[in-house]
Amino acid sequence: MRRLAALALLLALLPLGAAGCWDRQELNELGIISATGVDVTESGRWKLSYQLVIPSAISAQGSYVGTGHAPVNVFTTEGDSFRGAVSKATQEMSRRLYFAHNQVVIVGEAAARKGIAELIEAYMRNGDSRETVMMFVTEGSARLVLEQLLPMEKISGAGIVRLITQEEKQGGNFRQMTVFDVAQELLSPIRTTGVPGIGLSGSDEPVDTVDAAKMTHTGAKVRLQKLGVFKEDRLVGWLSTHETRGLMWVKGKERETTVSFGCPDARLKRNSIRLKQVRTQVIPTRKPDGGWLMRVKAEAAGTLLEYNCKGALDKPADLLELELRIAQELKSDMEDGIKASQRLGTDLTGFGNELRLRYPKEWKALEQEWNDRLFPQLETQLDVAVSIVRTGRSNGSYEQAAEDSRGKE
Amino acid sequence: MSKPEGISAGQIGIFLILFCIGSTPMFELGIDARQDSWIALGAAAIAGLGVLWGYRTLQNRAPEEDLAGLFKLHFGRAIGTALGLAMGLLLAYESMRNVRDFGELTSMTLLPETPIWCVMLLITGIAFYTVTKGVETFFRITQILLPALAGSYVLLLVLLLASGRIEPDRLRPMLENGLGPVLDTAFPDLLAFPFSQTIVLLVYWKYAAASKRAGAASYGAYAVVALFLVAVNAVIMMVLGPAIASIKALPTLEAVELIRLASFIERLDILVTLLLYIGLYVKISALYLASALLLRSACGLPLPAGALMIGPIIYGAAFLEPTNTFHLWLGLELSLKLTPIYQLLLPALMLVMGIGWVKRKAERQRAEGGRAGAGKTGAGKAGGADGAKGGSRSGGEPRSSS
């Protein structure tokens, strides 16, 4: 009898092992989202767009060519609150929205100017939509960007991630900003951040149909362009790509980039070098009159890519003059970046943070007026050193060789 | 004849490490001190070493007694029994807190749809099973768990380093507002939780009474775990920065979530959840077991009976707190102001009033108990020998005369 009772008890306990099944998720019940777009309506409501992956269309080999089905489906819901808008998706989508694979969030300009605090809050609080998604701003509507197909990619959301990863590694103009990074920078003492811009360039013909893949060229292209400048969670302006790169050097975030420079007395910059950042150091110092001076020391090293000037390059002394010229070029890039962010009254350089680390007591008095009054008038002194580590597979330039052979005749 | 329950000094050390880690990395403790939280935690850890010394000194007066026995030695039989029971209940409360933590953690991360009663029932059930198996088994379990826990934390640290997310500047400026706020944060809150929770050792030390090195092992393990906790705290701060660390409910999870390596090592927060599970399991079981052991030595209740009594109390009490916010407020704000009474003041009182005479009293008792009872070698462990197999003998032979 006792054994029977024990057996009955054990059997009763058995289902407990299946407790995890409460949270089962069946793949064929999910709508996997690869990118999200954020816009606002005229009345100020959130308009969220989702790029939904269509599994059957992406299962075939190759890029989006071939299947004849669109690989993604874009749709939009509206709501006063962020998650309120998300929950309305149940009214028009037969699958449960699954955000764990959402990799990109694109914010339209109007929404960015309204403020992204609610977006950050929604991403931080919920476990399913994580703050490791990458954030972009676009000058037009975010939905339009989501609708575009990328030539080499089936899922354009994932393609945009590859785009920015490549850009950060090779191009050196923009770097990835996740929602977390944005939140962290906006919560830092200087309360500013820059978010890479994304937009359409090329012809006005949008690439939102698979028929576009039948041609050898695409109309509009999704392109990284400009930097959206945020201050206290609102978009306050844009920087050009060139200015953004200068700031990357100032902040020490540059990995590798190609810099063009000119020959003496030449207007066009016909030479280029592949530069890697070695070190950047920002040293705030106090001027005798009580103001502040930011000394930026940057070091870069690189390999010549092309050289179309006259003169030999065989002795270290030959390179010296060249290095100075490149350093000058880099310096003016950096200056452009600093000036642009001063123009917007937004400390994108991180100078304020450096100042706080070195002079915590003084910083308390400066903090309130930093972005609006002190930073725009800040004096900077740039000290740039470039070393040409190697000159590639040529020594002197082709130009020089051609001239030498002419001289011999 | 069953072997008396006994554990080694090394086991005590391992237990202490796991117990102190417990759920501590769940929270960014000392966040009120902002980027100096690690200094606050370090200061509390140093003070905690003093507390540990106090506990150990108490234990040395009567190596074969546990907390309930020490209460009886210091305050007499009646008050001692009452205090022992009260302490048992307080430890059960602490265990309950961890059960609730376990439930909340699961709902927040792994199983949001699963009802919390089910999660908490499972963990309480596992803890109950552990407790019925007794001290030796539990300490062996901690030995098995340590390598997994230590290895995983090291792995996470390496990955965080590799991901380049660690920014030492986030700890600066150090002592921005002076030492005042840091010390305010450290005392009494951080001293009370996690460091003064080592009071459970006063229940377990007696099972290692045969080992001469139990004290040294405890100090060593404490130093290791204190360093570890301070390091984890500092690393999380270096990753998140004070602003984000203060708004996130589970900062460690947040920090680890940021790891993205080689496009496939990401979302490691699940790993952290599993590590926290190990820590919480050890803590729940340790406090539950300690509570049952105190019940046994305070009023002779056999261990399985005690476990059966306390289990439902722990499980039921976990539902008394209406919300997680209330749970966290009660645990990390309110009860930290109260726990020092029994974790610090009461032991301090015993420490002072018992100088000299308690040790002699304990020795006299042991001598008497030794003559009356199990003989020379068994006497030391007699208090712990019962209960393992149903506890038919009355608990605490050495204390039978007063």
The pLDDT tens digits for A189-200 are 889 999 999 988
Instruction: For residue B244, give the chain A residue with the closest CA.
Output: A184
Predicted interface score ipTM higher than 0.85: no
Query: How far is A68 from A333, CA to CA, in rounded Å?
Result: 46
**CB proximity list for B289: less than 8 A, separation 6 or greater:** B130, B131, B135, B138, B307
Contact assignment for B241 to A188 by CB distance below 8 Å: yes
Chain A residues in contact with B113 (beta carbon < 8 A): 22-23
The list of chain B residues with pLDDT below 50 reads 1-2, 373-402
Q: Is B90 within a domain?
A: yes
Q: Which domain holds residue B80?
A: 9-356
Residue spans of alpha helices (H) in B66-114 = 67-75, 77-108
Kindly report the number of other CB atoms within 10 A of residue B168's CB atom. Answer: 9
Of B108, B113, B173, which has the smallest distance from its Cβ to A356's Cβ? B173
Instruction: Please provide the average confidence, as pLDDT, over all residues in chain A.
Output: 87
- Distances, alpha carbon B244 to alpha carbons A157, A186, A229, A239, A350, in Å: 27, 10, 21, 27, 18
Contact assignment for A16 to B119 by CB distance below 8 Å: no
Question: Any bridge partners for residue A383, and if so which?
Answer: A297
Chain A contact probe: residue of B35, B108, B111 with most A CBs at under 10 A: B111
Chain A residues in contact with B315 (beta carbon < 8 A): none
Contact assignment for A357 to B243 by CB distance below 8 Å: no
Contact assignment for B114 to A19 by CB distance below 8 Å: yes
- Distances, alpha carbon A310 to alpha carbons A78, A384, B392, in Å: 63, 24, 102
Task: Chain A: give the shortest CA distance to residue B395, in Å.
Answer: 29
Looking at residue A319, its pLDDT comes to 87
Contact assignment for B114 to A22 by CB distance below 8 Å: yes
Chain B residues in contact with A356 (beta carbon < 8 A): 173
Domain spans of chain A?
26-239, 241-409
Which CATH number fits the domain that encloses residue B49?
A: 1.10.4160.10
pLDDT tier for residue A60 given thresholds of 50, 70 and 90: low
Chain B contact probe: residue of A10, A120, A124 with most B CBs at under 10 A: A124
Q: Quick check: A360 contacting B, CB < 8 Å? A: yes
Chain A residues in contact with B115 (beta carbon < 8 A): 22
Chain A residues in contact with B240 (beta carbon < 8 A): 184
List pLDDT tens digits, range B309-324. 999 999 999 998 888 8
Task: Chain A: give the shortest CA distance to residue B377, in Å.
Answer: 39
Q: Are strands A379-390 and A292-306 parallel, antiparallel or unpaired?
A: parallel
Give me the CATH code for the A241-409 domain, please: 3.30.300.210
What is the mean pLDDT of the segment spanning A233-254?
90
Looking at residue B267, its pLDDT comes to 77
Contact assignment for A188 to B247 by CB distance below 8 Å: no
Query: How far is A221 from A159, CA to CA, in rounded Å?
Result: 12
Q: Under DSSP, is residue A351 helix (H, G, I), strand (E, B) or coil?
A: helix
Chain A residues in contact with B176 (beta carbon < 8 A): 360
Of B113, B266, B267, which has the smallest distance from its Cβ to A22's Cβ? B113
Of A19, A127, A357, which has the smallest distance from its Cβ to B108's Cβ? A127
Looking at residue B369, its pLDDT comes to 67
Instruction: For residue A355, give the chain B residue with the closest CA.
Output: B173
Looking at residue B370, its pLDDT comes to 59
Chain B residues in contact with A130 (beta carbon < 8 A): 257, 267
Looking at residue B182, its pLDDT comes to 86
Query: How far is A165 from A325, CA to CA, in rounded Å?
Result: 30
Looking at residue B386, its pLDDT comes to 40
List pLDDT tens digits, range A320-374. 888 998 999 899 999 999 999 999 999 999 899 888 888 888 888 888 888 888 8
Element spanning A387, H or E: strand A379-390
Q: How far apart are the first and last CA of chain A?
A: 117
Q: Is B390 within a domain?
A: no
Opening angle at CA A402, ends A397 and A406, nearest 5: 150
Question: Residue for token digits 């202490």?
Answer: B16
The percent of residues above 70 in pLDDT, for chain A, comes to 97
Q: Is B281 within a domain?
A: yes
